[in-house]
Amino acid sequence: MDRARHPDLVNDVDEVLITEEQIRAKVAELGAMLSRDYEGRTVVLVSVLKGSLPFMADLMRAISIPAQIDLMEVSSYGGTATETSGLVRILKDLSSSIDGRDVLIVEDIIDTGLTLNYLLRYLRGKNPRSLRICALLDKPARRLVEISIDYRGFTIPDKFVVGYGLDYGELYRNLPFIAVLKPEVYSAS
């Protein structure tokens, strides 16, 4: 990241929106719900890199039924793919077939819904038996395309958040909580 100031994990945080304890409790709650709803089945948890990694790692351990995991990576607008093809691309596809499987997309945050809308269409084309969405954070104020979320952790206000996998310029992902950055962090970029 090209920035004049040196990032400071502690002092760059303006406000802790969701604490580590709150996240832990919510993940346990979601895990219990999923274990109940998918009882007798083996669910395939599909996580989208990179932001969803901490949530996926915690959620899979909170699920008490058989579960498999898979990872995908999708190019983002503004990245290098914008300059080449001008279209969203699958940078890392699923490792195994999901044909006839119960698939749960594990997302860190849903705001515009653009990436997830693309992903849903892509995964539906692979004929899963069921396809549901579990999102830790839902920011409905920014929604551009409507997405039906089956399992929702927290509905958050219209603020740019980092931490617990979420980044700003690839930083702050390792914060154990969800936080709002000080405005000067952006303006210094």
Partner 1 sequence: MPSGPNFAHGSEAELARIFDFYQVRWVYEPRTFPILWNLDGVVVESFSPDFYLPDFELYLELTTLKQTLVRKKNRKLRRLRELYPDLRIKLFYAKDFKALLLKYGRIDVAASLTGLEGQARPGEPLPARPGEPLPARPSAQALALRAERLAATARAAAVPVPTGEIPATTIPAPTATSRVARGRGSRRRRNRRLAASLPARPA
The residues that are catalytic are 111
Asked whether position 115 contacts partner 1 by CB under 8 A, the answer is yes
Q: Which CB atom, from 65 or from 160, has the smaller least distance to partner 1?
A: 160
Asked whether position 154 contacts partner 1 by CB under 8 A, the answer is no
Count of residues that bind partner 1 according to CB under 8 A: 25
165 contacts 108 by C-beta, under 8 angstroms? yes
Shortest CA distance to 136 belongs to which of 38, 27, 58, 35? 27
Question: Distances in Å between the alpha carbon of 72 and those of 32, 109, 173?
Answer: 25, 15, 18
46 contacts 105 by C-beta, under 8 angstroms? yes
Q: H or E element: which one contains 135?
A: strand 130-138
Residues 120-139, one symbol each (x = binds partner 1 by CB under 8 A, - = not), give -x------------------
Binding stretches for partner 1 (CB under 8 A): 76-79, 82, 86-88, 111-112, 114-115, 117-118, 121, 141-142, 144-146, 158, 160, 169, 186, 189
